[in-house]
Structure 1
Amino acid sequence: MSESVIEIHDWTLKVDENLLCRPDREVYLEPRLVNLLRFLARHAGTVFGRDCLIDEVWDGAEVTDQVVTQSIFELRKLLKDGRPDATDYIVTVPKRGYKLVAPVRTVPPLSQGAADDGAPAAALPPMQAPSACAEPAPPGPAPFPAGPLTRAISARAKDPRSRARMFGFDLFVVLVLIAMVSLLSYQGASPRVRAMLDPHLLVFRFHAGMDGNNENVRLADGITRALMGEVAAATALRVQYGATNPTGGILPGKELSVRVSRQPRGTYLDLEYRNLNTNRVLFSQQYQLSRHKVHQVLQASSQDLLRALDRPEVVPGMGWPTDDASLMAMMEARYYINSRDPVALRRGIVLLDQALASQPDQPLLLAERYLAGEALATLAGKSESDRLLETGSRLAVLVRGEGPLPARVWEALTLQAILGGQPQQAGYLLARAASRGRSVLYYILQGKLAELDGRPEAAGDAYSQAFLMEATEQTYLLCQQLGFYSNMETLTPALFNGLGQSKVKLF
């Protein structure tokens, strides 16, 4: 019996194609996952320990227990497919191992004789030859004609007046049919599209798992923003922070889900990259995360994601802090900085100051600290003039001797030049930032420079682009107040009217 196609409850595993599918859903698996799922399906209901699975599935290769655990986790996640009410497929038997509990059926190969195994066809009555002594049948009504409907009137069609009436009826039917076909063709040529998926727009969504750990929320948000920066710098994709779910218009064609959750064996980072146009998972990976290897995990996850995006030659992590504690503090600080609450902003600033205590001359940390101070001054009205001046001056001195730098550094220097009344220098610095990817802050700064240059249309377009990239209250307020006040009602009336004149309202 062939085992190239196996039905596992509502899924079908096509071993030869590395494909797991069910109605309206297809997922391509790595060979290790295919081999593991096929083995468990062949022995459904049997418990296997990790050592046994390594011997049977990995053929005794040097594989750690963590690889088996991760593979089981990935299979469970794929089979559940985000359905909270889905049945259990693979269960853990405490202190023994794993077993597949879903119903399994092997699909036999299709062959020429397969039809013989089915139900026999209904027998047809034998044809009888006409009897030689049979009397001819008396003439009766004309049989129902096999021609078009317009001929099937009656035998009275032989009458010339009836033929004329029939011709008129035929003509009427033909005209009605032509009208119906024309109407359907017109409607088919003008489809109504409520929403379109943009294949060049990638939305990033973060989740904090089910444990409700606030640290995991902060870390997931910071990692999400770090990955956004790497993708924006290395690819032509437009990135969007998934804080909202618009219901119409142009929607993202791709999605990256970022999840940080605490499990019995530690804290894990899960990435899942999905093409929403085809509803296929193109990349899914799990990484064990700890405060002592944040840099290593971010480097590996960024590299794997860029490889899935066909940019394997790009080396991520340019300009990141090398100290794990500093990098962890920066990740968490980004969560607080992207808020208009003064208490949260100050908490983010405290974390950045702690990171700078370990690496005082790290350009990215200085840039984040400078921008956080300006955000506090803009959104909360609490300026740190002396500290900001010192931070900005140190950053400017360091950049003179540095090589390639992250976009965030150039954006901080651009804002410093705008506030210093140097629009020409700010334009040069913003162009340097664009070479490393375009962020929400990039478009806000672009709008400010367009205003200073007397181009209100370009400014309104830039502010709209910033808001569409991250539709939050803070984005709108930064467009309005960062550096100097911008009249959003004049610059982008559609955005102003859509949000409300007195209070920002998200989608």
Structure 2
Amino acid sequence: MAWVNYKINNWLLITTENCLYKSGKNYIIEPRITKLLAFLAKHQGIVFTRDELIENVWDGAVVSEQVVTQSIFELRKILKKMDEDHWIVTIPKRGYKLDIDVQQIYVDPNTGFKLEEFHSSHEHTNDVSTHASFPAGPMTRAFNNTAKETPPATTTAADNAKWNHWFFDVCILTMLLITLVFISWSNEKVTPPTAALNPRLINIVSAPQSATNQLYSLANIIKDTLFKSTNYISSFSHQPNAGKTLSLYVNQHHQLHIELFNNISKTIMLRKNLSLDSNNAYLIIEKLLNDLIQSLNYNHQQTQYYIAITNPDILYDYLELPTVITTDNQTNTHYIEKINTLIQSYPQNSYLLAQRYLAYAILLTTNNKITSMPTLMNYGKVLVKNITLNKQPEPTEVYDALALNELYQGNLAASDHYLSLAKSQSQQNTALRYILLGKISELTNKKQQANEYYSMALYLSPDQETRILCEKLVFISQINTTESTPRH
């Protein structure tokens, strides 16, 4: 029985050896990726859903849709190395297709075939005497046993060529060495310029020995408040050009110590020691946020409410929640367990429901082995039902969660509407909001705009979590976010 290989845009997919081959370049791929690419090549131009791919590529085996998504992602990584990442096209809400020229090649295992037939046209010349055979590839020995060796040149000619090349190499290396020495000498006394500090960039730091859930939650509230109420940019990722540093730690009297330091003027702008309990949590934190914004000389109303949770008991318990992503970039499912316990006590609190939904979406994106899409969809339904019953203006985080829920369901207009509501209540967009805007732009074929939104997200929060969300939240992005990291 003949083997079926595929010529895809001048690349040869050798199905029996699980490799892609062209002009001496050889990429070995996994059998399941080979089978996936071969199936798409056989049905070039046809859109297949994940279920259809499972039925045809995995032979109906019991696998999740995420396995298909991951396989498409791995295939795209291989194609990107080959500069062919445009082969696979995602059709929103439908599936995937192979959008490139394909030719099926039938190979008789008894007689073989001539590999040089699979060169692209620009690789051939009309000069028969200088026509080169197809470079040795993984199947050359099996199918091309009639090749003849070119008679070697005379010894004298070979020796002359060898000495000429050797002399040329020595000259080039000598010139390169002289150039490097000159550059090193000329730059010896040059002092690199010092990067200017950004007065609107604030690093938020906490001493490792005093790090607690309460400290991290408070830092998050401060970070969200700065985005919501000012034009200052706060980040947990250390930025060497930050104009200010906000330090939080527990002092020797077991109080929360907050200090805002100006790295430009070398002065302390704010220093507070707080004693929080379940009775005063809201008043103390609200006062702290007012003092902080006033210290930044930012125009604001003293009576403005910055915290979405006004109930002191809920707020104090909320501060004790663990982080969703740990400091070593590991997912933390205990967050969902703890916030579910809190929601059982306060089932109508839309802010808690929104935070649970956003946290679970992050966990699902970063570690789908311990999460499931049905659970996320259920959390979304509970949030939407609660909002429908309340019919009151909601915090920006609630609108962010609603926008993400609509995006998962493919309702781009509704998602964009909720993002507009969130932006109307904030001075600036958060990193997550920019990611959602990027996803909407990408689905509407506005790739340049999407790339700009992803860049803004990485500018505001240049960490691994943000990069993963840019790449994988809702769907695998076709825009590369790894080549350059925006810097403040």
Q: Give the TM-score, by structure 2 length.
A: 0.55
User: Does residue 444 in structure 1 map to residue 435 in structure 2?
Assistant: yes
Partner of 1:255: 245
- State whether residues 302 and 316 of structure 1, in contact with CA within 8 Å, keep that contact through their aligned partners in structure 2: no
Q: CA deviation at 1:262?
A: 5.3
Question: Partner of 1:204: helix, strand, or coil?
Answer: strand
Give the aligned partner of residue 107 of structure 1.
Answer: none
Paired position in structure 1 for 2:357: 370
Equivalent position SS for 1:228: helix
The correspondence of residues 286-365 of structure 1 with structure 2, limited to 5 A, is 286-309=273-296, 310-314=298-302, 315-320=304-309, 322-324=311-313, 326-333=314-321, 335-337=323-325, 344-365=331-352
Residue correspondence of structure 1 range 63-462 to structure 2 within 5 A:
193-207=193-207, 212=209, 216-237=211-232, 239-246=233-240, 251-259=241-249, 261=250, 263-264=252-253, 267-309=254-296, 310-314=298-302, 315-320=304-309, 322-324=311-313, 326-333=314-321, 335-337=323-325, 344-381=331-368, 382-400=370-388, 401-435=390-424, 436=426, 437-462=428-453
Output the CA distance in 1 between the equivalents of 2:430 and 2:322.
14
- Matched-pair contact (CA < 8 Å) for 1:423–1:449: yes
CA shift for structure 1 position 451: 0.8
> CA offset at residue 222 of structure 1?
1.1
Distance in 2, Cα, partners of 1:472 & 1:485? 18
- Equivalent pair of 1:337/1:372 in contact (CA under 8 Å): no
How many Å apart are 1:321 and its aligned residue?
5.3
> How many residues in Structure 1 have an aligned counterpart in Structure 2?
293
Residues 200-234 of structure 1, C-alpha deviation per residue, up to 9 Å, x if partnerless? 223322335xxx35xx4222111111011112111
Pair 1:475 & 2:466 matched: yes
Question: Partners of 2:375 and 2:328 in 1: how far apart?
Answer: 20
| Residue pair 1:340, 1:379 contacting (<8 A) in 2 also | no
Opposite residue 252 of structure 2, the aligned amino acid is Q
Amino acid at match of 1:391: Y
Give the drift of 1:318: 4.0
Task: Give secondary structure in 2 for the equivalent of 1:195.
Answer: coil
Partner of 2:76: none
- Is the Cα–Cα contact under 8 Å of residues 217 and 321 in structure 2 kept in the other structure? yes
Structure 2 vs 1, CA of residues 303 and 334 (structure 1 numbering), >3 Å: closer, same or farther? farther
Consecutive unaligned residues in structure 2, runs of 5 or more: 1-189
* Preserved contact between residue 207 and residue 217 of structure 1 (Cα < 8 Å): no
Q: Give the distance between the partners of 1:402 and 1:205, measured in 2 at CA.
A: 38
Distance 1:198 1:296, change over 3 A: same
Aligned to 1:30: none
Calculate percent identity across the aligned residue pairs. 23
State the one-letter code of the partner of 2:243.
Answer: G
Report the secondary structure of 1:289's partner residue.
coil
Distance 1:321 1:481 in 2: 34
Greater shift in the superposed pair: 272-281 or 416-425: 272-281
| Contact preservation (8 Å) 1:234, 1:311 | no
User: Amino acid of the residue matched to residue 263 of structure 1?
Assistant: Q
334 and 298 in structure 1: CA distance in 2 versus 1, 3 angstrom threshold: farther
CA offset digits 1:232-253 (Å, max 9, x no partner)? 111122x23232344xxxx222
- Report SS of the residue matched to 1:345: coil
Report Cα offsets for 1:97-153 as digits up to 9, x if no partner: xxxxxxxxxxxxxxxxxxxxxxxxxxxxxxxxxxxxxxxxxxxxxxxxxxxxxxxxx
**TM-superposed deviation, 1:338:** 5.9
Determine which structure has more spread, i.e. the larger CA radius of gyration: 1
Instruction: Tell me, yes or no, if structure 1 residue 493 matches structure 2 residue 488.
Output: no
Given that 1:253 and 1:275 are in contact with CA atoms closer than 8 Å, whether structure 2 keeps it comes out as yes
Q: What's the C-alpha RMSD, in Å, of the aligned pairs?
A: 2.9
Distance 1:316 1:258, change over 3 A: farther
Q: Closer, same or farther in 2 for the Cα pair 1:462/1:332, shift >3 Å?
A: farther
- Cα deviation for residue 311 of structure 1 reads 3.9
User: 1-side partners of 2:341 and 2:476: how far apart?
Assistant: 32
Distance 1:420 1:403 in 2: 24
Shift of the 356–340 alpha-carbon distance from structure 1 to 2, 3 Å rule, reads farther
Query: Shift in Å at residue 192 of structure 1?
Result: 6.3
Give distance in 1, aligned partners of 2:346 and 2:325.
Answer: 20
Instruction: Measure, in 2, the Cα distance between the counterparts of 1:205 and 1:404.
Output: 33
1:446 shift after superposition:
1.7
The 1:242–1:376 alpha-carbon spacing in structure 2 relative to 1, beyond 3 Å, is: closer
Partner of 2:332: helix, strand, or coil? helix
Amino acid of the structure 1 residue aligned with 2:260: Y
Whether contact under 8 Å (1:272, 1:285) holds in the other structure is yes
Q: Equivalents in 2 of 1:191, 1:461: separation in Å?
A: 34
Letter in 2 for 1:404: P
